[in-house]
Homo-oligomer: A and B are copies of this chain.
């Protein structure tokens, strides 16, 4: 029953988040329900040119079947011994707002299992299943109060969870969302974790439940605070240049994206994360002392936001 338990939560989380966005004034989403030939499918909800979001997606999927060859070669011997079947379910979202003062946000929470699952219980071997996920914020302008609130809300969710470890998850996030060729983090981080198995299944589920439910309270205050703020053509241009960086990270470094595309994953689902519009210029540097330069400086070195 464990698979069904996670899947039910993942569906609920998608519903809760989509409803929360609509409740603050976003228009109804467009839904794309798709099947996967080899087993499973998904429910992708999309906004393009919405009230608040220029482009946004909140997706869930449940996929299962034969483990792809690339993943099998990386599995442990014990996992291999369980057979070549897998099961994975997850919720993933990326929201790109119109207003440059509202940060872009990304979150995903997921569960992965190797084995055929016939026994309706999680496999005993710890290599065979795990929870993963996280949430991170990509602002265009520095707002210390916003950043503290986002991190504090996630830290509180971790503190309420037996498997939660905010400090470790924050470090993993800062390390992961980094563009070495720019010497910049993608944003101001958040949490990121993988391979959560200890101490038991229920604790892993509790972790993604607490963190998942923390999403709306961590993010919506920024939407409400900045959505009607006036912005200049220059501020819009800065946002679009930063979206270029977002594209660079996702297409060059993000493991889910690069692995997904190269292993015949569903292209539209994988690239749902990309913004509607991204700009590039040659050697564009913000002038010293500007809010744009301040943002860039903040991305040069991860900071503690909850201390």
Contact = CB atoms under 8 A, between A and B. Distances in A.
Interface of A: 30, 32, 44, 46, 48, 55, 57, 180-182, 240, 244, 247-248, 251-252, 258, 261-262, 265, 267-268, 270-272, 274-283
B244 A252 contact: no
A268 B252 contact: no
Given A251-B247, A251-B248, A282 B277 contact: no
A279 B46 CA distance: 16
Contacts of A268: 282-283
Contact of A276 (B252, B262, B265, B281): B281
A279 B278 CA distance: 7
Contact of A282 (B57, B240, B262, B280): B57
Identical subunits present: 2
Contacts of A267: 181-182
Contacts of A44: 282
Nearest to A251: B251
Contacts of A276: 279-281
Contact of A252 (B258, B272, B277, B281): B258
A282 B251 contact: no
Contact of A280 (B32, B275, B283): B275
Given A181-B261, A251-B251, A278 B281 contact: no
Contacts of A265: 181
A262 to B, nearest CB: 8
A238 to B, nearest CB: 14
Contacts of A244: 274
A30 B276 CA distance: 29
